[in-house]
Amino acid sequence: MVAGALWLLLFGTKPGTYAYRDGTLVPGDFTVVTYWEKWTKEEAEAMQAVCDRFNETVGRDKKIFVHFVSVSQVDQKTLIATAGGNPPDIAGIWGAQMGTFSAYNALTPLHELAADGTITRETYKPFIYELCAPGGVPYAASSTPAAVALYWNKELFREVGLDPEKPPQSIDELDAMADKLIIQKPDGTIVRAGFLPNFPGWWDYYWGNFFGNRLWISETDDYRIDTPEQVRAYTWYQKYAIKYGPGNVVSFGSGFGQFASPQNPFMSGEVAMCLQGPWFVNYVQNYTPQFAGLNFTEVMRLRSLGKISEAEAETRLMKARDLFRHLYGASVPPNAVGKPSDVLIGDLDVWAIPRGARNVKEAMEVIRFFSRQDNMEMLCRSHSKPSPLMKVSDEFIAKHPNPFIDVFETMMRSDKMVAMPVSANWAKVQAEITNANNAMWRTPDKYPVGPTLKETQIAADRHLAEYREITAIRKAAKSGGGAK
Amino acid sequence: MRDRVKPREQIAGILFALPFIIGFLVFMAYPLCKAVYFSFTDYPFLNEPVFIGLRKYVRMFGDPVFWQSLRNTIVFALMSVPFSLGISVLLALLLNNKVKAPGVWRTIIFVPSLVPSVASAMLWLWLLNGKDGLVNHLLGTKIQWLTSETLVLPTLAFIGFWGVGQTVVIFLAGLQDIPTEMYEAAEIDGANALQRLFHVTLPMLSPVIFFNLVMGIIGAWSVFDGPYILTGGGGTNRSAYFYAMYIRDAAFLQTDVGYASAMACVQFLIVMTLTALVIWSSKRWVHYR
């Protein structure tokens, strides 16, 4: 009893208390694989369902139980747990962390999964392998991927006389539509915006790419922040703040509600167009009243409780797709380079095994299961995302809750797609860029584009120089030369 | 002749003090020594620390973000510490008077300090919202309290009064400790209310002011959670980016524990120096009975 109490105190869970969904306890001779994941609410539920599927099938046969834990700030907590020598067996981190984690040797190489075909260039859609295998070493398997699209509110398009089926094809068209959609009071107060390049602000560092820049040079791990293309991009970015009034856009932005809430400005109709990922369809359906009883999460819940039939569930999902298509559109974002499909931005979540994980072999078994086409499609469908795999079933597309899945799948298959830099310095450089963008947006008179980008370039170069110097010292210390 | 402490009593004393001593050694002294050691290394959390001498300190002095966070923290401390102390003394003096329902007033002033800082930050975030905030609504303005580079620090210092409850209670205890005979003597000597305040109350309260000043300086130098939430991580162009925020970001976002430790050591030295200065100056203005 004392030992049990001590265990409970130290580890929080008594041995043998992991249970299947039906309440049956996991036998003591099973290996428990701890899996930390960033997702919460519906997205976490979807992942839990895949874990349940593993536990009830392959897991039972191979005596492995995967214990899914939804963890906030999973990147930082994984980092600290790894440094402390007690990491989870599987960590569901962001693709953006791959550069840092791999550079600091924080992940277990997954050669076994590369050998059996789970992690290969051929298995995944074009940009994914580079992120999972920095420097050619397979450090992670892809979980759910994303492409960034331009969403627009068709009702608002209709209201101002724009064709709701025709999204902007160029930056000039985007600007013209934004100007038509904005409602500003005589005193400058913005009531509704057509488009604001800093909303939601998640990919602001890539606006330069939409104007022909290549932000990160992977071959040399350098950043191009003050190029003429970047200056053009952020002059356009800042132009929005200047033409609507910096005070007005800042004031308007400060009233925006949380992303996952009905107060999200796109959902509330305060912003007519915005960049977002495929998951946005789920969020819109979950937080707008028009989709009550039709959204994927609710339909699946009712179906699992046996309250509606399979046929009824399918009918409701189709209804939701049609309704979404009627209310909103999603397409490839325009750019200043050429056709919209010439510049594409991607994003990725990954599964990795932190260095020092206790159950590496079993964790690989779990990742192998997650990466199987049927499970991957089940997860991606629930998250309203495309699949990272090249091979997708017809059913996946036909029954996908995202009415624009074809748009996302097409973007994902393009070799023009770029994702975030896989660089150890990305976090530092990103912080500099974000700071500069905020300054240029909020106070354009004080922070003109050219000098601000130049300063940001200097700051980024300083980080890179320091990293290179320290790396050289580390190499020298490793080879016995000692620190200079 | 000094009384000798019996060995049994000595052991008992040590045993009673042991939990604190162990806690201090494990959770304070050891991390402090480790931080000093890490400040001379490159330690990206996931790799072993490598000794690099004073490189992190050299980098610090050429790092504009370091100087900006230092400047912001100094300005904030200069505004918030006197402001909070002044407000606290004022409220304590008011409460010390014969007001109606003193318990109710004390509770009203003390309760906000019990609200978790994150919750109160969320509250202020909406009160000061540039678009729909109650403060702007009442003033009939559209002031960007938290995103304006010039207004953000005074705003944050002003918000500090929300948490003065504990300081007020300490001041109140100090005020009630002042012997009434001193006021009576002053009154007999013909001192008016203002003279009694400056020549009796404040000098007699000076040990408490001294204590709260030291605590205020330490608090201002480690300010983090409220401003972090209110400014979304440091405000426009890092106008409210405080020293503690930079330490946290360096350690956990940039995985540069060596640099974060070097900054923490500098912070420790600054706070030590300021505290020593206050203690040194206290000989001139703190009056003990």
Orientation angle between helical segments A373-382 and A41-56, nearest 10 degrees: 160
Name the residue in chain A with its Cα closest to that of B125: A254
CA distances from A178 to A153, A233, A237, A334, B14 (A): 12, 17, 13, 13, 74
Closest residue to A104, CB basis, from B44, B52, B129:
B44
Q: Does B42 sit within 8 Å of A189, measured CB to CB?
A: no
Which chain B residues are closer than 8 Å to A475 by Cβ?
none
**Residue A205 above 70 pLDDT?**
yes
Which chain B residues are closer than 8 Å to A189 by Cβ?
142
- Give SS3 for B150: coil
Name the residue in chain A with its Cα closest to that of B237: A439
Residue pLDDT, tens place only, B32-66: 999 999 999 999 888 889 999 999 999 999 999 99
Give chain B's length.
Answer: 289
| A331: β partners | A150
Q: What are phi and psi of A152, to 5 degrees?
A: -140, 155
Closest residue to B144, CB basis, from A82, A250, A474:
A250
Contacts of B259 (CB under 8 A, 6+ apart): B56, B59, B60, B250
- Position B162: which residue type? W
Q: What is the phi-psi region of residue A47: left when phi exceeds 0, alpha when psi lies from -120 to 50, beta otherwise?
A: alpha
> Dihedral of CA B229/B231/B232/B238: which sign?
negative
Per-residue tokens: A403: 């009415």
**Model confidence at A262, in pLDDT bands (50, 70, 90)?**
very high
Give chain A's length.
Answer: 484
Report yes or no: B52 and B41 within 8 Å, Cβ to Cβ: yes
Neighbours of A292 (CB within 10 A): 10
Residue in the block written with tokens 């907590």: A77
Orientation angle between helical segments A296-304 and A310-327, nearest 10 degrees: 170
Q: Does A470 sit within 8 Å of B52, measured CB to CB?
A: yes
Which chain B residues are closer than 8 Å to A104 by Cβ?
44-47, 255
Residue pLDDT, tens place only, A328-346: 999 999 999 999 999 999 9
**Mutation test of the interface with chain A: which of B131, B241, B249, choosing the one with the most A Cβ atoms within 10 A?**
B131
Residue pLDDT, tens place only, A370-406: 999 999 999 999 999 999 999 999 999 998 999 999 9
Residue pLDDT, tens place only, A440-466: 999 999 999 999 999 999 999 999 999
Of A4-13, A19-28, A39-48, B20-29, which gets the smallest average pLDDT?
Answer: A4-13
Closest residue to B46, CB basis, from A83, A428, A466:
A83
Q: Does B129 sit within 8 Å of A435, measured CB to CB?
A: no
* Cis before A200 (ω within 30): yes
Q: What is the mean pLDDT of residues B166-189?
A: 93
What distance lies between CA A301 and its chain's CA centroid? 25
Q: Is A250 on the interface with B (CB under 8 A)?
A: yes
Chain B residues with CB under 8 Å of a chain A CB are 42, 44-47, 50-53, 55, 59, 64, 129-132, 142, 144, 146-147, 149, 234, 236-238, 249, 252-255
Q: What is the mean pLDDT of residues A296-314?
A: 88
Average pLDDT over chain A, rounded to an integer: 92
Closest residue to A477, CB basis, from B45, B50, B131:
B50
**Model confidence at A320, in pLDDT bands (50, 70, 90)?**
very high
Q: Is A465 on the interface with B (CB under 8 A)?
A: no
Report yes or no: A143 and A351 within 8 Å, Cβ to Cβ: yes
Q: How far is B76 from chain A (nearest CA, A)?
A: 21
Distance separating alpha carbons of residues A230 and A146, to the nearest angstrom: 24
Per-residue tokens: B281: 């100056």
Which chain B residues are closer than 8 Å to A93 by Cβ?
none
Per-residue tokens: A67: 């214990």
| A271: β partners | A193
Per-residue tokens: A105: 């040797």
Neighbours of A267 (CB within 10 A): 22
Which chain B residues are closer than 8 Å to A447 by Cβ?
237
Report yes or no: A132 and A353 within 8 Å, Cβ to Cβ: no
**Model confidence at A483, in pLDDT bands (50, 70, 90)?**
very low
Distance separating alpha carbons of residues A403 and A327, to the nearest angstrom: 11
- Give SS3 for A15: coil
Closest residue to A255, CB basis, from B131, B147, B255:
B131
Tell me the domain boundaries of chain B: 1-28, 60-285
Q: What is the mean pLDDT of residues A109-113?
A: 94
Distance separating alpha carbons of residues A281 and A403, to the nearest angstrom: 8
Per-residue tokens: A51: 């874990």
Q: What are phi and psi of A358, to 5 degrees?
A: -80, -35
SS3 content of chain B, % helix, strand, coil (to 5): 75, 0, 25
> Dihedral of CA A287/A290/A294/A296: which sign?
negative
DSSP structural state of residue B252: I
**Residue A16 above 80 pLDDT?**
no
Report which of B173, B161, B182 is spatially closest to residue B85, judged by C-alpha positions: B161
Q: Is A82 on the interface with B (CB under 8 A)?
A: yes
Q: Does A473 sit within 8 Å of B52, measured CB to CB?
A: yes
Distance separating alpha carbons of residues A327 and A86, to the nearest angstrom: 48
Q: Is A439 on the interface with B (CB under 8 A)?
A: yes
Which chain A residues are closer than 8 Å to B47 by Cβ?
104-105, 474
**Mutation test of the interface with chain A: which of B118, B237, B254, choosing the one with the most A Cβ atoms within 10 A?**
B237
Helix (H) or strand (E) holding A151, with range, is strand A149-153
Q: How far is B225 from chain A (nearest CA, A)?
A: 16
Closest residue to B42, CB basis, from A106, A247, A473:
A473
Report which of A84, A52, A57, A77 is spatially closest to residue A67, judged by C-alpha positions: A52
Helix (H) or strand (E) holding A70, with range, is strand A64-70
Q: Does A483 sit within 8 Å of B53, measured CB to CB?
A: yes
- For position A303, what pLDDT does the model report? 87
CATH number for the region B60-285 comes to 1.10.3720.10
- Give SS3 for B123: helix
Contact pairs from chain A to chain B, CB under 8 Å: 82
Q: How far is A97 from chain B (nearest CA, A)?
A: 10
Distance separating alpha carbons of residues A290 and A99, to the nearest angstrom: 41
**Mutation test of the interface with chain B: which of A97, A355, A435, choosing the one with the most B Cβ atoms within 10 A?**
A435
- For position A482, what pLDDT does the model report? 45
Q: What does A19-67 look like in DSSP terms, one character per residue?
A: B-TTSPBPPTTSEEEEEEE---HHHHHHHHHHHHHHHHTHHHHHTEEEE
Q: How far is A84 from chain B (nearest CA, A)?
A: 9
Q: What is the mean pLDDT of residues B236-241?
A: 91
Residue pLDDT, tens place only, A88-104: 999 999 998 898 888 88
CA triplet A339, A340, A345: central angle to 5 degrees? 135
